[in-house]
């Protein structure tokens, strides 16, 4: 498993969305309850960008069709998506955030 530096930890304030490209794939990163979570950038329903979604209570809602996902587990909670959102492990080390792919 590869670990990629995606930036300084201070660039990931609680609840704010950030994007990162790793090896040609796009990821959405959001700090939830103090931990940066990494998920696939695109909703599995119709591949809409989740960068424009709404983050509330550890969940993200896709603005296109209102599919809702848990940012920790990726579980599809409501809406039209039958597939869960892929998640990726993260860690903070020496003031930097890393995503494992």
Per-domain residue ranges of the chain: 13-87
Q: What is the pLDDT of residue 9?
A: 98
Checking if the pLDDT of 8 tops 90, the result is yes
pLDDT in tens, 45-100: 999 999 999 999 999 999 999 999 999 999 999 999 889 999 999 999 999 999 99
Checking if the pLDDT of 1 tops 90, the result is no
Q: Which residues pair with 3 in a beta bridge?
A: 100
Yes or no: domain 13-87 corresponds to CATH 2.102.10.10? yes
Q: Tell me the HSE value of 24 on the side-chain side, using a 13 A CA sphere.
A: 0
- When pLDDT is averaged across residues 28-46 and rounded to a whole number, the result is 97
Q: Tell me the HSE value of 58 on the side-chain side, using a 13 A CA sphere.
A: 10
Q: Is the dihedral of CA 93, 26, 43, 17 positive or negative?
A: positive
- When pLDDT is averaged across residues 15-34 and rounded to a whole number, the result is 97
């Amino acid at each position: 498993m590869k670990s990629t530096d995606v930036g300084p930890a201070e660039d990931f304030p609680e609840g704010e969305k950030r994007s990162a490209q790793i090896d040609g794939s796009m990821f959405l990163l959001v700090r939830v309850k103090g931990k940066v979570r990494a998920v696939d950038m695109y909703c599995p329903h119709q591949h809409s960008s989740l960068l424009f979604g709404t983050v509330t209570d550890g969940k993200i809602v896709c603005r296109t069709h209102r599919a809702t996902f848990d940012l920790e587990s990726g579980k599809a909670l409501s809406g039209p998506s039958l597939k869960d959102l892929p998640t990726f492990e993260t860690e903070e080390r020496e003031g930097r955030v890393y995503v494992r792919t």
